[in-house]
Structure 1
Amino acid sequence: MPRRTATMLASTLILIALLCAGVFIKVPYSEMSPGPTVNTLGDHDGEPVLQISGRKTYPTTGHLNMTTVRVTSADYKMNLVEAVYGWLAHDSKIVPHDTLYPDGKTEQQSTQENAEEFSQSQESAKVSALKELGIPVKSWVIVSTVVKGSPSEGRLHAGDVIKAVDGTAVKAPDDVAKLVTRHKPGEKTVFRIVPAKEQAAAAKEHTTATATKDVTITTTKSDDSGTGRAIVGISAGIDHTFPFTIDIKLADVGGPSAGLMFSLGIVDKLTPGNLTGGKFVAGTGTIDDNGKVGPIGGIDMKTVGARNKGAQYFLTPKDNCAEAAKDTPDGLRLVKVDTLGDAMKALKDIGAGRTSDLPKCTVKG
């Protein structure tokens, strides 16, 4: 066999061996890639994403697309070949497994957490949108969770409205802990509540539940270090009663990052005219009840997904601007936003063709 042929054969065999080894060598990495992007003004799986009843709505045109990131599952074991391919690819990103699933989080735990964050983002989107439009929203402090084995188990339930603790009215979730910790462990505290079932029934009818009851709970000592403060074993949160029904129909999506786009979609449907002027706008960002836009993960994958779908503009949380600006897809214009009000103004300018002064994202932020 000629030496050149032998060398080529040996090299080929070595390459095959390395590829085979790479397939079997597992590495502690996961992959992120562009996920689906859905128009909040349109339909998904045959039904409108935003469904509003009990209030006049208006026709909309254009796109206000929420964006997502697709990630490998928690139990997926990536091999070396896949990792190298992902590092070289432009439309995917390889990150340490613990970045997506910290502290050994399982697939089930991650899915549950994402579902809870998605549900909360929907509520905040509704609240911020209605506040932007000057439509009153009633808010209530509620029992968010009850710790198993705690003094509150069986006495308080998730969804109970907390009206007062020891006769002092509760106006914010933090009030509950402050009032409980006035006690010493072992002392009794009295919660005045509206039971969750009665509150849910009233909310369904867009009315206010008035029937209350007092629940006496014996405090216990906290497990944290220090003096051992008094606790009852609950966490408090906020719930809302809306003057009409807003349903967000979007399955198989998790996390809080669609909040901004849901809020904008709700505003657009509840007001005459078109916010986008028929333009294709996508975006991302968490949102709180007061319309503050927060940063999200996977911004570079979301901009790629948006541009691939046809987006011309991308509403970008201020704190994601620097990262997004490092590698912006051709033909996509990043627009910096910090609040729902910022996004509304940007959309009005886009719709009217006043785009020269839109807030820009730069590598400095």
Structure 2
Amino acid sequence: MSRLWWFTGPLLLLVLGAIIVVLAKPVPYITLRPGSARSVEPLITLEQVKGGPKPNVEPAADDLLFVTVSSRQPSGIEALWFSRDRTARVLPERVINGTQTAEQNRSFNLQLMTASKDKAAKVALERAGYQVKVTPTGAVITDLDPSFPSAKVLLPSDTIVEADGKAIKTPDDLVARIAAHQPGEKIALQVDRLNPQETLTVQAVLAKNAKTGKAQLGVSLETRPAYTFPIKVDIDSGEIGGPSAGLAFTLALIDRLTPGDLTGPERVAVTGTIELDGTVGPVGGVAQKTEAAIRAGAKLFIVPTDEYADAKEAARGRLQVRQVTTVDGALKILREVGGDPVPASGSDG
């Protein structure tokens, strides 16, 4: 036995050491865990624009929360540990980053946060009685099919501002330029790129649409708007990215711009994207956000309808979960739980 141990012992220790090294190294996965739940209104600064109307700003309350998901690349042993945690998710890195690098994905999410704050400001200001001018300035790629040839030269977050020498202001402008081509042809695109920040021209090969047989770029698009706000709106979101705080920002701005207490006596957590027409869209990580809301002491969690079932299941009766599809639906819920109604117009601006 002694001779056997002298032979197998070092080998076993070597194998054990190798396993420990492998488990300690980062793996190509991302962990999603409950993040923070922060009061929104203290993050908001509203100032008069030179020559513009003076805003009537209410004091900041601390009972309206936006919630986040904490994400990071784990080591092997952390991935195994969190796979057993009911409040966490472990996903392949490619599911989160897609065709982008981690740094490109981070920059894209910060861009989405900026766009979300601008949308929230527009919706809230108009709900409070102000007018906001919107000018289209390009077609932003919000998603891209990696199987299409265009994925070799384009990235999510790229904004297409010119095609074949013609200015592109909206996605419809780009669709019209693509329609002038046949599948397999190249289209010259001028692109504003976020990371690194530059403007470049690329030649993208157009694919064939399987249903229509027509030329297709293989991207999802939305208009890049430029806003003229009558009031300067600043929301200090720090390094948090993504569009999921849009509804929370909108409600917080409405509360600051109109008289009364919007949320009533209890702490309210909110998640959901906001669009320029006031509709509320789905977000990711709603189970982790539900847990974050509970840990912060929220009694009500307002979520997009598409994710109501997941939030309800994650809550397990520990807080009330309500679903909405529009900002007006959220305002109605807040009135039902004791909040003050929003006046038809909060300003003469």
Fold match by TM threshold 0.5? yes
Q: 1:94 to 1:227 in 2, by over 3 A?
A: closer
Q: Kindly indicate whether residue 333 of structure 2 is the aligned counterpart of residue 338 of structure 1.
A: no
Contact 1:60 1:274 in 2 (8 A): no
* Deviation of the 1:262 alpha carbon: 0.2
Indicate which of 253, 257, 263 corresponds to 2:244. Answer: 257
Q: Measure the CA separation in 2 of the matches of 1:114 and 1:16.
A: 43
Q: Measure the CA separation in 2 of the matches of 1:142 and 1:107.
A: 27
1:336 corresponds to which letter in structure 2?
A: Q
1:284 corresponds to which letter in structure 2?
A: T
Q: Measure the CA separation in 2 of the matches of 1:138 and 1:288.
A: 15
In terms of mean alpha carbon deviation, does 126-135 or 310-319 score higher?
Answer: 126-135
* Deviation of the 1:14 alpha carbon: 8.2
* 2:89 match: 93
* 1:223 match: 206
Q: 1:63-117, CA deviations, whole angstroms, 9 ceiling, x for partnerless residues?
A: 1111111111xxx4631x22221022243222222221223x2121111110111
* Deviation of the 1:278 alpha carbon: 3.5
- Cα RMSD of the aligned pairs, angstroms, is 3.7
Contact 2:271 2:303 in 1 (8 A): yes
Q: Measure the CA separation in 2 of the matches of 1:254 and 1:221.
A: 29
Q: Measure the CA separation in 2 of the matches of 1:143 and 1:149.
A: 8
Q: Measure the CA separation in 2 of the matches of 1:322 and 1:139.
A: 35
Q: Kindly indicate whether residue 273 of structure 2 is the aligned counterpart of residue 276 of structure 1.
A: no
Q: Kindly indicate whether residue 123 of structure 2 is the aligned counterpart of residue 128 of structure 1.
A: yes
Q: Measure the CA separation in 2 of the matches of 1:281 and 1:115.
A: 25
Q: 1:302 to 1:181 in 2, by over 3 A?
A: closer
Q: Measure the CA separation in 2 of the matches of 1:182 and 1:84.
A: 49
Q: 1:14 to 1:331 in 2, by over 3 A?
A: farther
Q: Kindly indicate whether residue 308 of structure 2 is the aligned counterpart of residue 321 of structure 1.
A: yes
Quote the sequence identity (%).
29
Q: Measure the CA separation in 1 of the matches of 2:292 and 2:91.
A: 18
* 1:166 match: none
Contact 1:51 1:249 in 2 (8 A): no
* 1:299 match: 286
Within-5 A mapping of 1:18-167: 21=19, 23-25=21-23, 27-42=27-42, 48-53=43-48, 54-72=54-72, 76=73, 78-79=75-76, 81-103=77-99, 105-143=100-138, 152=165
Contact 1:61 1:278 in 2 (8 A): no
Q: 1:22 to 1:95 in 2, by over 3 A?
A: farther
3-state DSSP of counterpart to 2:237:
coil
* 2:344 match: none
Q: 1:150 to 1:325 in 2, by over 3 A?
A: same
3-state DSSP of counterpart to 1:56:
coil
Structure 2 unaligned regions, length at least 5: 2-7, 49-53, 140-157, 183-202, 341-349
* Deviation of the 1:311 alpha carbon: 1.1
Question: How many aligned residue pairs are there?
Answer: 281
Contact 1:286 1:295 in 2 (8 A): yes
Q: Measure the CA separation in 1 of the matches of 2:172 and 2:162.
A: 23
Structure 1 unaligned regions, length at least 5: 2-9, 43-47, 163-172, 186-219, 354-365
Q: Measure the CA separation in 2 of the matches of 1:140 and 1:235.
A: 13
Q: 1:148 to 1:272 in 2, by over 3 A?
A: closer
Q: Measure the CA separation in 2 of the matches of 1:149 and 1:263.
A: 32
* Deviation of the 1:19 alpha carbon: 8.8
Q: Measure the CA separation in 2 of the matches of 1:236 and 1:327.
A: 35
2:57 corresponds to which letter in structure 1?
A: T
3-state DSSP of counterpart to 1:88:
coil
3-state DSSP of counterpart to 1:58:
coil
Q: Measure the CA separation in 2 of the matches of 1:19 and 1:276.
A: 56
